[in-house]
Amino acid sequence: MSRVRPGIDRLLQDPAPVSGKRFGLITNPSGVTSSGEPSWKALAALSAGRLARLFGPEHGVDGGALYMESVGHAVHGPTGLPAISLYGSSIESLRPRRDDLKDLEALVFDVADVGARYYTFVWTMMLAMEAAAEAGLRFVVCDRPNPIGGAVEGAPQDPAFLSFVGLHPLPVRHGMTAGELAGLFAAEKKLSLDLVVCRAEGWAREMPFAATGLPWVPPSPNMPSVETALAYPGMCLLEGTNLSEGRGTTSPFLQFGAPWLDALRLAGALNELRLPGVSFLPTHFRPVFDKHAGATCGGARLSVSDASAFRSFETGLRVVETARRLAPKEFRWRTEPYEFDSRPAIDLLTGSERFRRMVDAGEDLAPEVARHEAGGRAFLGRRAPHLLYPGSRPAVVAFVGGHNAGKTRLVAALVPKLAAQGLKIGTIKHTTKDAEDDIAGKDSYVHARAGAAVGAFVTPERTTTRRFGPEEPFERLIGRAFAGCDIVLVEGYKALPVAKVEVTRPGASRPPVPGAVLRVGEGAPDDGIPTLAADDLDGITDAVLRLAGFDR
């Protein structure tokens, strides 16, 4: 069973956004429910509204077209509905026409994104949002996790280099979901749009895709895995060169090369750079289509050892630079039109002429890498108002204070208040002294006394597991026992690097609480820490939601 429910599940559970409306659906094979049912099938069976038309982004509704292959309008076989292509033979074909929308009252978007600016689906969404705003249609985004998380890489493109691989200034790796991007586009482009985002349930930005429990359905033919998606923000840069990015092989974007490159020399030169989280293995491959089809290419294969440290975009920049340096006579920039644009593809992908000119001149790339890092950091402030999900799950908030300060009473009062918000709440009580937590003479007590390493007490209403031995590291405990929770309230653990709330009471001891961001209680010093009265449960609940990232 999935831990995360995508937005389409939420829309099916509560179809109010399309209730009583004729609506269209922008989708492809990646638009599925948590059980794997295609969104078009589930929505066609919906009695609350009427699915009247399908729209397909690049690769089409059925997802079978190759990249940059024109797709025509068709009739969707399983439903008999019109299937309107939003990726035809001209730049005008990328936007829904007024005639395509004239009898609709809403547009629903359910397509999986991979978290990179170049991936065209979010630009199809933005153009459809603009068309919906002009036509007075509601626009509903069925949100999905960003499979490569919340990290940001690359500066937004210069305004003169907007294109269908970036119609609005964004970092190469933006760390947002389609629903969050829809909010950013609507706000920054000042669209007068009835926008509804059906949020994914149970997702957090740092959650690995494998932990979501959702099926991976390739959103495009050359995106077969999450590993491919992680490499894509950097390795897509090779589309702007005559290097093969691995299309026509079983490992697109994870291996790369050309017939005129020496595999051992290329891998060795890249490994000498000591790029974070990645190493390179020499390899040979023969693409069956696309660049160098039928020719054996010498190249390298990415081996990502630390996904959190891996900087895909910087890696891609360095791969292109290194290939150009090793084979300057054979290396070429792409000159053919790219995504309906005749400018150099590498400029559209990197967002300016800078990278291409520096590589051609043999200049040190460090300033360009630093510029991209600074631009990515600056974007964090732009995106913050539009984020819909916490950074980690579960979020942890610790309540710390002296003996008899009222911590237990406060935690117990907050659990039902937070649960009423639809959140799953866990609690942990920590003490620095060992204490018996069973009843002497009971069977479970006898089992533990006999030397069991793990003991469980199971009834039809509960399962209690106790592990005996050294204290379990906090992060391991959270991951093992609380992964299904939204927020964990912790009593104790004064030294944890988490959000801390100091709890005070007149007459109770007040040990130091380094890093406290909130105080609850009376008689506290005026030291700049925000303080709430112990009986202000609504205010404390709101504060905990803010600290946990659930106030959005």
Task: Indicate which CATH number applies to the domain containing 240.
Answer: 3.90.1150.140
The residue written with tokens 């985004």 in the block is 141
363 in a structural domain: no
| Same domain membership, residue 234 and residue 203 | no
pTM: 0.82
Full residue range of the structural domain in which residue 424 is found: 395-440+474-548
| Same domain membership, residue 92 and residue 147 | yes
CATH number at residue 512: 3.40.50.300
Written as six digits, the tokens of 137 are: 């249609």
Please state the rounded mean pLDDT for residues 404-427: 94
| Same domain membership, residue 84 and residue 52 | yes
Lowest mean pLDDT among 133-137, 195-199, 404-408: 404-408
CATH number at residue 204: 3.40.50.12170
| Same domain membership, residue 125 and residue 65 | yes
Please state the rounded mean pLDDT for residues 40-55: 97
| Same domain membership, residue 274 and residue 205 | no
What is the three-class DSSP state of 321? helix
Range among 368-382, 436-450, 454-468 with highest mean pLDDT value: 368-382
71 in a structural domain: yes
Other C-beta atoms closer than 10 Å to the C-beta of 97 total 12
Cα(88)–Cα(70) distance, integer angstroms: 5
Whether residue 40 contacts residue 5, with contact meaning beta carbons closer than 8 Å, is answered with: no
Of 40, 38, 60, 32, whose CA–CA distance to 221 is shortest? 60
Q: Check whether 2 has a pLDDT greater than 50.
A: no
Written as six digits, the tokens of 455 are: 């003991």
448 in a structural domain: no
Q: Are strands 499-503 and 454-459 parallel, antiparallel or unpaired?
A: unpaired
| Same domain membership, residue 207 and residue 231 | no
Q: Report CA 487 to chain centroid distance, whole Å.
A: 19
- CA distances to 32, 50, 191, 317 from 106, rounded to whole Å, are 19, 10, 16, 41
Of 39, 71, 77, whose CA–CA distance to 58 is shortest? 71
Q: Rg for the chain (alpha carbons), in Å? A: 27
| Same domain membership, residue 15 and residue 149 | yes
Question: Which one has a higher pLDDT value, 410 or 1?
Answer: 410
Other C-beta atoms closer than 10 Å to the C-beta of 121 total 23
Q: In this structure, what DSSP letter does residue 116 have? A: B
Question: Which one has a higher pLDDT value, 404 or 359?
Answer: 359
| Same domain membership, residue 536 and residue 510 | yes
Q: Residues 460-511: pLDDT tens digits?
A: 998 888 888 888 888 888 878 887 788 999 998 877 788 899 999 988 888 8
Q: Are strands 74-75 and 82-85 parallel, antiparallel or unpaired?
A: antiparallel
Of 341, 334, 150, 114, whose CA–CA distance to 233 is shortest? 114
State residue 437's pLDDT score.
Answer: 86
Q: Residues 78-133: pLDDT tens digits?
A: 999 999 999 999 999 999 999 999 999 999 999 999 999 999 999 999 999 999 99
Q: What amino acid occupies position 353? A: E
186 in a structural domain: yes
State residue 61's pLDDT score.
Answer: 97
What percentage of the chain reaches a pLDDT higher than 90? 80
pLDDT class of 524 with cuts at 50, 70, 90: low
The residue written with tokens 């959702």 in the block is 214
| Same domain membership, residue 192 and residue 93 | yes
- Total domains in the fold of the chain: 3
Residue that is last in its domain, among 352, 385, 408: 352
217 in a structural domain: no
334 in a structural domain: yes
Half-sphere exposure of 312 (CA within 13 A, CB side): 29
| Same domain membership, residue 230 and residue 208 | no
219 in a structural domain: no
96 in a structural domain: yes
State residue 540's pLDDT score.
Answer: 96
What is the three-class DSSP state of 473? coil
Burial class (CB in 10 A: 0-12, 13-18, 19+), 430: middle
Q: Residues 204-230: pLDDT tens digits?
A: 888 899 989 999 999 999 999 999 999
Q: Residues 256-286: pLDDT tens digits?
A: 999 999 999 999 999 999 999 999 999 999 9
Cα(261)–Cα(450) distance, integer angstroms: 66
Of 424, 428, 421, whose CA–CA distance to 400 is shortest? 428
Q: Report CA 22 to chain centroid distance, whole Å.
A: 31
Please state the rounded mean pLDDT for residues 15-19: 97
Cα(498)–Cα(505) distance, integer angstroms: 22
pLDDT class of 525 with cuts at 50, 70, 90: low
What is the three-class DSSP state of 315? helix
Residue that is last in its domain, among 352, 383, 403: 352
| Same domain membership, residue 200 and residue 93 | yes
State residue 501's pLDDT score.
Answer: 93
| Same domain membership, residue 64 and residue 195 | yes
Residue that is last in its domain, among 212, 238, 268: 212
